[in-house]
Structure 1
């Protein structure tokens, strides 16, 4: 196994640092950019921003380049929307900033926001989870598995 594979596993997303400007910047935090911009700060919540992004993508012409900038919990749902709207990977730039991420619990099959901690308690089923360095682009989430596989629900049962 190469050194780069051990420092950055294949299953963890890589974020490009492209210098080409995007036509549309969708950002979690306000940004001083000359590019057309949709910022979470300008909307009531993430759903309202997502509706605005969808409306903008419906008007898009072929070749639109979109940059999605924010933490992983913010950018991956937007990436899925952009892909569903017909953009391909070359037209979407993901600019990651540290913050929240989504974790998928394999025990209850639900996602939840999490920080960067290696463990957490599932907010839905109460199982103590270890967050693996495996990322699902389809779900936009890291894999959370039970810390004690011999007694997965021992922490939540009397």
Structure 2
């Protein structure tokens, strides 16, 4: 099977993603290879395809619950990296993939952002009227005027 590689130009953001994802992979190789004389950073370029695919499927998807976007970034980065290593003669071409049975899991591994909750003007007014002291009233009014979210308001500290 003869496969030719095509050189592509990518933007700076993509380069940053690739570097970060490769760094994560190399950290995993370092931890995974502890106690093994065959798997290490020194030999990562010759890792069997099965081990790299295990990183993608077993570690990232099953263990770490990586999202679809992140797993696609890891796959893109590792393909780019190993294609480069192949082009300079350090390794053979790797067939990296996400197992089809795990793709729905990746789609479901999305961290939902919570809705930002602000205090309504009516609730703020009620809080101001029922503040136990002038200090509490001033704290609440300051936070309200600054447009702070309810959670941010909890972060205020006072020296007494």
* Alignment TM-score, normalising by the size of structure 2: 0.29
| Structure number having the greater strand percentage | 1
Larger radius of gyration: 2
* Alignment TM-score, normalising by the size of structure 1: 0.29
| Structure number having the greater helix percentage | 2
